[in-house]
Amino acid sequence: MLQVKAGNMDTMGLLFERYHRPLFGFLFHMTSQREASEDMLQTVFYRMLKYRHTFTGDGEFRSWMYHLARNVLVDYSKQNKRSAHQYDLADVAEKIGGGPAADERFQKEQELDTLHKAMAKLSPENREVLVLSRFQELKYEEIARVLNTTEGAIKVRVHRAMNELKKIYLTLENGNATYKL
């Protein structure tokens, strides 16, 4: 990134190759909107170019990238306050397709669907730490840097988010069970 800052724009392509998948994952898990995430992906990379002078070099590039991505997300949610989280089930189904038995597949689909619903019900702050720690596999220390806070605070937040998620998940699962009956 420092090379990009120095004016070597071609290095940006390298960064894109390395980071666009996890970044897209983050955006997608945060919004559950495929198209919007693709748009935001472009926006984040555009801002990397535009604000390359703000990248100081201390701290990892990844932290800076997530930092920019969060800002893009904030802008996005401001623009789309009304649009609720609607998960593109088609994407999931596509991914799971070709699994073991149909029953098992259906059950897994159910579980994943429930999990997604539960994730969507989390507050954005809690969802964020879970996405960053579980999906993006960032260390607490790194998350703390992205969110501009301490490692301890992140630890507590992840713990709370996990408990909340479990609660919501179980409620939804019970609801499903009742529905099935």
Partner 1 sequence: MATQPINCEQANERITDWLNNQLPETDRVALEAHLKACPACETEANSVRQLWQLMGNVPTPEPGETARVRFQAMLDTYKDTVTTEQESVVDNLLAKLRQLWAPKYAFRLAYSLVLLIIGVATGYWFQRSNTPALAYQQQIDTLSTQVQEMRQMMMLSLLENPAASERLRAVSYTEEINQVDDKVVDALLTTLNNDANVNVRLVTLEALAKLADNPTVREGLVQSITRQESPLVQSALADVMVKLQEKRSIKPLRQLLRDDKLNHLVKGKIEQSIRELS
The residues binding partner 1 (CB under 8 A) are 9, 12-13, 16, 20-21, 24-25, 28-29, 34, 37-38, 41-42, 45-46, 49-50, 91-92, 95-96, 108, 111-112, 115-116, 130, 133-135, 139-140, 155, 158-159, 162, 165-166, 169-170
Report the 10 Å Cβ neighbour count for 132. Answer: 24
Residue with smaller CB distance to partner 1, 58 or 97:
97
Minimum distance, C-beta of residue 38 to partner 1, in the bound complex (Å) = 6
Cα–Cα distances (Å) from 19 to 55, 62, 64, in that order, read: 16, 8, 12
CA distance 73 to 95: 25
Residue with smaller CB distance to partner 1, 26 or 64:
26
CA distance 48 to 52: 5
Minimum distance, C-beta of residue 142 to partner 1, in the bound complex (Å) = 11
Residue with smaller CB distance to partner 1, 54 or 95:
95
Q: Which of 43, 41, 17, 18 is nearest to 30 (CA)?
A: 41
Residue with smaller CB distance to partner 1, 30 or 58:
30
